[in-house]
Structures are given as C-alpha cells and as structure tokens.
C-alpha cells in the first residue's frame, strides 16, 4: 500500500503561533453518566471476588470507577468508609438521636440547637474525645435528616397540653356530630354561631418600621394607656357577623364615646370594664336574639367562662330553642373559630390603625373617646366573609371534619419488637438533660508539661510506664477510675485515666460486638434509651377528670336537670345560711338584752347607793350642825377646842369625847353604843 493511502490529513486548521484557549481544548469524555451507589459498588466487588468478571469489565458493567473498585478488591480501602475525618456519630447513633429529638418535640419539651450540640459534646466526652461541636456539624446533620428543622414555637400552657388529649377531642367531635345530626344542622351554616370576648389595649403594639441603619434604639410613640376595651364578637358559619358588644369601665355612657360607631353596636357598663353574667344575659336576650335568624333551632358555641355558665341564661336559651354548646376547657386555641381565624387579624389591624392614628395626630394619644372611630375601621377589615368561613373550616365545625384539628401525638414507647441499639448493647448514650458545652477558648487537651491548674494536679500514676492492657492497672486504680466514670467527671491532665478509659472501651466493644464509635455510658436493663429519658405528659386517669374536661351541651335535658339540682342545693344552702344567720342575730339580740338588763340593774344599784350616801351625808351634816350648835353636857367641861362629839344613845345629849374619855376611833365604829355616865347611874 502506498504511503499516501496510509496517510490521513486532518481538516482542522491548526496554528502553532496561536495559543489554544481552554474552551478550544478537547473535553474529557464523560465515562460515568450518573453517580454510582454503594449497592452497585458491592455488586461489582462480588462479581470480581467470585471470579466471574475482571475489574475492568465489572467497572464498565456497573458504571463504577475502576480505581475505586480496585481499592476495594485489593483491601486497601474498606467498605462503608468515607473520605475526610471520622464522624462524631454513626448512622445508628444519629437515628436514635433523631428519634429522641422528635419525641421531645411531640411532648412539648422540644430541644434547641444549643441543647442538641451540648448532648453531642457529652457523647463525645464520654467516648474519650472531648471536642467542640461547631455549627458546620449541625448544618451537615440537618441536611442528612430533613425531618429536622428550626422552628419558632408557640406558647402552650401545661393545662392546654393536658386538655389536648385525643380522647377529649374525639368526645368533642362525637358530641358535636350528634348534636348537629339530631337537630338537622349539618347543612345549615347560618344557624351555627360562635361568640367570644377579646381585649383591645389602648396602648398598641407597634409593627416594624423603616429606621436608620445603625440606630441602636429605634422608637415609636404609643398612648401609654394601660386600659383595654372588652369586645364581644359573634359570627356564624355562613360568614355573617352580628354587631359587636363593647364594654366600658364607666357608670354612665357619654354620647361622645359612640362617635363613628359600628351600626347596631351594643354597649355595656361595668366597674372593671370586663364581662359579667348580667351583661352577657342582656346581650343574649336583647342583641343576639334580635340579630339571629328566625329559624330554629340555633347552635351557639362558646367557652366555659363563668360569665357564660349562668342558669338564667341557660333557661332563656332553652326556651328560645338555642342550643348552647360549651367547648372543652383549655382547648379554645384549637377549637374556637374566633380564636383561630378572626381575632388574630382583628388585633393586627388594630395595631396598624392605632399606628396610623398616632402618625396623623401628632401629640395626641388614643383614649376611650377615640376607640369607636378606630375600632369601626378594624371591624370592617377583620370581619370579612373569607376570614369567618376559614375559621369554621379550620376548626372542623363546618363542614364537619374531624381531621381538621391536628394534635401532636403523645409520647409513645418504641416498637418492642424492634431491638434498639441501646437494648442490643445494654448501653445508653443519649442523656435527656442538657450538659454544659465546651468552649473554644478552653483547651480541649492539655500538654504533658502544662497540666490544667483548674482541674487539679497531675495524677502521680502518670509517671508509671504505659500499660498495654487493663490487667496492668492495679485494683485500686480500677476502683478509683470506675467511680470517676460513674460520677461523670474527668481530669483532663490524668493521662493514665484516659488510657484506662480507652482500653476499657475497646474491651467492651470486643465483648459485645459493638460498633467502633459507640459511646459507653449507663447500663440499661430492659428499656429503650429514648423511652427511658423521654418525658411523658400525665394521662387522664380519673374518669371524673375526663368528664370534667369534656364538651357539654348546656341546654340539654340532663344538664338542665343538673343545673336545677345545683340551684336547689344552692338555694338550700342559702336558706340554711340565712337561718343560721337569723339564729346568730337572735342570740346576739338576746345577749345584748341581757347585757342591757345587767347594765340597767347595775346603774340602779349605783343610783340607790348614791341616794343612800346622800341621805347619810345629809344626816351627818345635820348632826354635825347640831353638834356645832350644842353645848357639852358634861359636868366641869373645860375643853372648848374639842371637835369630836359623841351622842348618848339614851338621853340623846352630846358630849365631848375627851370629856367622856372616849377615843374617836371607838366612836366611829358602827357597833359602838355610847351611854353617858348620868344614864348609867
């Protein structure tokens, strides 16, 4: 064959003077059209290991890199080995951790990002690898488990959490469905109503504003008035809203307070500005029944506030064929339409309108006289048909839908048939508490020549030769190190303890066939680690408590009988109380009469004594006067200056005591009887 026939000239023009750009350079052909999986790599390895295919042929057939397959076949690289540094937790440990986090979130004890990182650091510290877990590990961990995410939580009281029991909600829907079916209201949205109160503060909450970048304390003016206005709203499932009831904390209603009102608004006056039984009964009688449709029966859903639970109100409602359905306590955040879809927009619009009012009226604050003008705008924006319909739909009332209310599952134990990692190994590695995290500013490991001063002096055993097994440690060391491990404290500078811990971990792994990166910790008996540390909400053990927290139809015959019975018992107690009060008053009156009688007798005695004293004093004064006027009858009397006299009991003549040789003390004695010497003879 000629040379020309064996020569091929390329049609592509090339130039040695022009440097070829990177875009003009030929690209490497794409050998692997799609990423290979671990299963394909293992299948290719088995084909080569069994001798059925060569390395090159197996790599082409299963679309895996030849060098990767060759490394697995020759044993240079083991299976399930990833490039880069070793992982903190293996797949099973991360799976247990994810289950633990999800269970905590379901029970209302959700963990924060900081708490999770602290738990992982505690795991690593117990493994003998005290490491600071950075935010990068968290991002990778969350990407590996898309079920986890950071969320802004809602506040929920403990009572609300307990009241969200599935049995209470199921009983509520059973009773609601029975009430709707028995009264043929399943397809009558215009006859299903919901009423509730809400407070609108005169000092609004400002929304986000446009400020100056770098300003430390952006401010906006508010009224500073801490009072709030109580508003009662009532809507039905067809989207109709009854005019509101507004309550003022006043004795009388000033007409200036009603300027720019919502047409048909009813006003209530109370000392506190809050709802009470009297105002609610008047609203139902003179406002609700006036604006409600004439068709009967009507269903009115409300919460169990004490102002609603009024026997007179229940009797009037039963007479007017209005079914009063009381929602379960502490569940209005789930089941009350006004709370779910109306009051939220109402308060948002209230804050916006108050902000506009403050901006348009500089130097003026929101008062009670400005309330109706602002509230009327808010009412028209919030009480729109889509909001009302959505509120009844999301609560599952109309159309009736049990699955509309999503309640988080209660904490349930793991499947007993599935053996968890903790049960398999008998070791726990996830604490429920939140341990203290390490900080980058503190050294995680200390140099041999520079022990940590805060953790104490180095152990004297560190100077011994490095042991090769646990048998090289003394019995005293085993006892001391085991106690240190159980109590959970570490001395970073104690290298001998760290070496003992590492050898112990290796020995336990060999005995129990545990994965290499499993944490040693507290031994479990027969309980999953998640089930052990997971908090559980208390169950409703008492049937009485369950019935107490269930929904009720207040206008039912049974409830009216119970109300009448309670009223009868209450009336009997009041009558008994009044009877006891009358008895106490009667006893008190008798006691007062006795006291008054004794007082009068005492006064009478005092008066008689005073009169007797006066008579005696009068007699004494007359006798004294006589004595002064009389002359001593004694013979040879020479006591002109004598003042003490004595009278003879027989002749009634007066003598000087000195003349008769009688002392004045003897004369003053009541039993003394004086007889003169003449009478004696």
Reply yes or no on whether the pLDDT at 127 is more than 70. yes
Q: Mention every residue, 6+ apart, whose C-beta is less than 8 A from residue 214.
A: none
List b or e across 31-55, with b for residues whose CB sees 16 or more CB atoms inside 10 angstroms. eeeeebeeebbeebbebbeeeebeb
According to the model, what pLDDT value does residue 41 have? 86
**What does the radius of gyration of the chain's CA atoms come to, in whole angstroms?**
50
According to the model, what pLDDT value does residue 626 have? 56
Token pair for residue 408?
Answer: 């988080």
Q: Mention every residue, 6+ apart, whose C-beta is less than 8 A from residue 573.
A: none
How does pLDDT run across 504-545, given as a tens digit for each residue? 766 654 444 434 443 333 333 333 333 443 344 444 444 444
Tell me if 437 sits within 8 A of 117, measured CB to CB.
Answer: yes
List b or e across 145-167, with b for residues whose CB sees 16 or more CB atoms inside 10 angstroms. eeebeeeeeeeeeeebbbbbbee
| Confidence at 437, pLDDT banded by 50, 70, 90 | low
Instruction: Provide mean pLDDT across the span 652-673.
Output: 75
Reply yes or no on whether the pLDDT at 149 is more than 50. yes
Reply yes or no on whether the pLDDT at 435 is more than 70. no
Highest-confidence segment of 377-386, 566-575, 643-652: 377-386
Token pair for residue 100?
Answer: 């633990």
Long-range (24+ apart) CB contacts under 8 A made by 127-135 are 127/505, 127/517, 127/519, 127/520, 128/498, 128/501, 128/502, 128/505, 130/438, 130/444, 130/445, 130/490, 130/492, 131/88, 131/438, 131/444, 132/437, 132/438, 132/439, 132/440, 132/444, 133/88, 133/437
Instruction: Provide mean pLDDT across the span 439-449.
Output: 40
Q: What whole-number distance in Å separates Cα of residue 534 and Cα of residue 531? A: 5
Q: Looking at per-residue confidence, does 200 or 441 come out higher?
A: 200
| Confidence at 6, pLDDT banded by 50, 70, 90 | very low
Q: Residue 677's CB: how many other CB atoms inside 10 A?
A: 13
According to the model, what pLDDT value does residue 558 have? 81
- The pTM of the full predicted model, rounded to 2 decimals, is 0.55
Tell me if 327 sits within 8 A of 335, measured CB to CB.
Answer: yes
Q: What whole-number distance in Å separates Cα of residue 378 and Cα of residue 345? A: 9
According to the model, what pLDDT value does residue 536 have? 45
Q: Looking at per-residue confidence, does 340 or 457 come out higher?
A: 340
Long-range (24+ apart) CB contacts under 8 A made by 290-295 are 291/242, 291/243, 291/264, 292/193, 292/242, 292/322, 293/190, 293/191, 295/188, 295/190, 295/191
| Confidence at 640, pLDDT banded by 50, 70, 90 | low
According to the model, what pLDDT value does residue 416 have? 37
Helices (H), 401-444: 421-425
Q: Which of 52, 128, 127, 145 is nearest to 91 (CA)?
A: 145
According to the model, what pLDDT value does residue 423 have? 45
How does pLDDT run across 232-241, given as a tens digit for each residue? 999 999 999 9
**Cα torsion through 42, 43, 48, 50, rounded to 10:** 110
Instruction: Provide mean pLDDT across the span 138-164.
Output: 80
Supply φ then ψ for residue 518, to 5 degrees: -85, 140
How does pLDDT run across 184-230, given as a tens digit for each residue? 999 999 999 999 999 999 988 888 888 888 888 888 888 888 888 99
Reply yes or no on whether the pLDDT at 402 is more than 60. yes
According to the model, what pLDDT value does residue 494 have? 72
Q: How would you classify the pairing of strands 266-269 and 241-248?
A: parallel
Tell me if 499 sits within 8 A of 466, measured CB to CB.
Answer: yes
According to the model, what pLDDT value does residue 466 have? 56
DSSP secondary structure of 215-251: -SS----------EEEEEEEEETTS-EEEEEEEESSS
Instruction: Provide mean pLDDT across the span 316-323.
Output: 92
Reply yes or no on whether the pLDDT at 384 is more than 50. yes
Tell me the pLDDT of the chain averaged across its residues. Answer: 76
According to the model, what pLDDT value does residue 154 have? 73
According to the model, what pLDDT value does residue 464 have? 46
Q: Any idea which of 26-30, 149-153, 378-382 has the lowest mean pLDDT? A: 26-30
How does pLDDT run across 245-263, given as a tens digit for each residue? 999 999 999 999 999 999 9
Reply yes or no on whether the pLDDT at 371 is more than 90. yes
Whole-Å CA distances, 27 to 9, 30, 33, 36, 141: 22, 9, 15, 22, 36
Reply yes or no on whether the pLDDT at 611 is more than 90. no
| Confidence at 631, pLDDT banded by 50, 70, 90 | low
| Confidence at 432, pLDDT banded by 50, 70, 90 | very low
According to the model, what pLDDT value does residue 540 have? 42
Instruction: Provide mean pLDDT across the span 295-315.
Output: 88
Reply yes or no on whether the pLDDT at 73 is more than 70. yes
Which run of H or E residues covers position 121?
helix 113-126
């Amino acid at each position: 064959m000629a040379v020309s026939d064996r020569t091929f000239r390329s049609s592509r023009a090339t130039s040695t003077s022009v440097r070829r750009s990177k875009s003009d350079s030929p690209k490497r052909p794409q050998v692997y059209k799609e990423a290979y999986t671990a299963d394909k790599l293992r299948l290719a390895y088995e084909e080569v290991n069994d001798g059925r295919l060569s390395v090159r042929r197996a790599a082409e057939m299963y679309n895996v890199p030849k060098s990767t397959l060759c490394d697995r076949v020759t044993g240079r690289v083991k299976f399930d080995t990833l490039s880069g540094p070793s992982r903190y937790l293996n797949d099973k440990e991360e799976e247990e951790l994810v289950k633990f986090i999800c269970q905590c979130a379901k029970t209302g004890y959700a963990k924060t990002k900081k708490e999770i990182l602290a738990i992982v650091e505690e795991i690593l510290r117990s493994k003998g690898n005290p490491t600071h877990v950075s935010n990068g590990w968290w991002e990778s961990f969350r990407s590996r488990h898309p079920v986890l995410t950071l969320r802004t939580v809602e506040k929920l009281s403990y009572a609300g959490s307990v009241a969200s029991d599935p049995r209470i909600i199921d009983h509520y829907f059973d009773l609601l469905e029975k009430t709707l079916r028995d009264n043929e209201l399943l397809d009558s949205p215009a006859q299903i109503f919901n009423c509730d109160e809400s407070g609108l503060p005169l000092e609004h909450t400002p929304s986000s504003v446009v400020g100056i970048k770098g300003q430390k304390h952006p401010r906006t003016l508010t009224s500073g008035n801490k009072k709030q206005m109580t508003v009662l709203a009532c809507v039905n499932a067809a989207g109709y809203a009854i005019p509101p009831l507004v309550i003022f904390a006043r004795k009388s209603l000033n007409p200036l307070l009603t300027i720019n009102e919502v047409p048909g608004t009813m006003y209530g006056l109370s000392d506190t500005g809050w709802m009470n039984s009297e105002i609610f009964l008047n609203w139902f009688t003179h406002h609700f029944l006036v604006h409600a449709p004439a068709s009967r029966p009507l269903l009115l859903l409300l919460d169990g506030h004490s102002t609603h639970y009024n026997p007179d109100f229940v009797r009037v409602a039963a007479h007017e064929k209005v079914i009063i359905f009381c929602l379960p306590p502490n569940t209005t955040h789930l089941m009350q339409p006004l709370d779910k879809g109306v009051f939220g927009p109402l308060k948002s619009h209230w804050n916006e309108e108050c902000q506009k009012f403050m901006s348009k009226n500089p130097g003026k604050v929101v008062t009670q006289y400005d309330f109706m003008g602002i509230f009327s705008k808010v009412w028209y924006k919030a009480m729109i048909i889509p909001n009302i319909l959505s509120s009844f739909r999301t609560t599952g009332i109309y159309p009736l839908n049990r699955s509309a209310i999503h309640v988080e599952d209660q904490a349930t134990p793991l499947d007993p048939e599935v053996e968890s990692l903790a049960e398999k190994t008998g070791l726990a590695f996830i604490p429920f508490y939140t341990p203290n995290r390490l900080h980058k500013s503190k050294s995680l490991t200390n140099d041999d020549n520079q022990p940590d001063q805060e953790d104490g002096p180095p152990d004297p055993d560190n100077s011994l030769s490095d042991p090769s097994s646990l048998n090289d440690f003394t019995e005293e060391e085993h006892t001391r190190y085991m106690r240190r491990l159980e109590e959970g404290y570490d001395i970073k500078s104690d290298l001998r303890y760290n070496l003992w811990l590492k050898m112990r971990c290796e020995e336990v792994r060999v005995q129990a066939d545990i994965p290499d990166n499993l944490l040693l910790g507290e031994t479990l008996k027969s309980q999953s680690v998640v089930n052990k540390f997971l908090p559980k909400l208390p169950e409703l053990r008492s049937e009485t408590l369950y019935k107490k927290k269930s929904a009720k139809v207040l206008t039912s015959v049974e409830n009216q009988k119970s109300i009448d019975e309670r009223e009868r018992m209450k009336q009997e107690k009041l009558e008994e109380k009044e009877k006891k009060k009358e008895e106490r008053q009667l006893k008190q009156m008798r006691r007062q009469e006795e006291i008054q009688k004794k007082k009068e007798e005492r006064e009478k005695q005092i008066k008689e004594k005073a009169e007797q004293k006066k008579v005696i004093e009068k007699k004494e004064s007359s006798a004294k006067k006589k004595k002064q006027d009389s002359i001593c009858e004694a013979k040879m009397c020479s006591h002109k200056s004598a003042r003490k006299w004595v009278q003879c009991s027989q002749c009634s003549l007066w003598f000087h005591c000195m003349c008769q040789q009688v002392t004045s003390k003897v004369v003053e004695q009541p039993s003394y009887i004086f007889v003169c010497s003449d009478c004696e003879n």
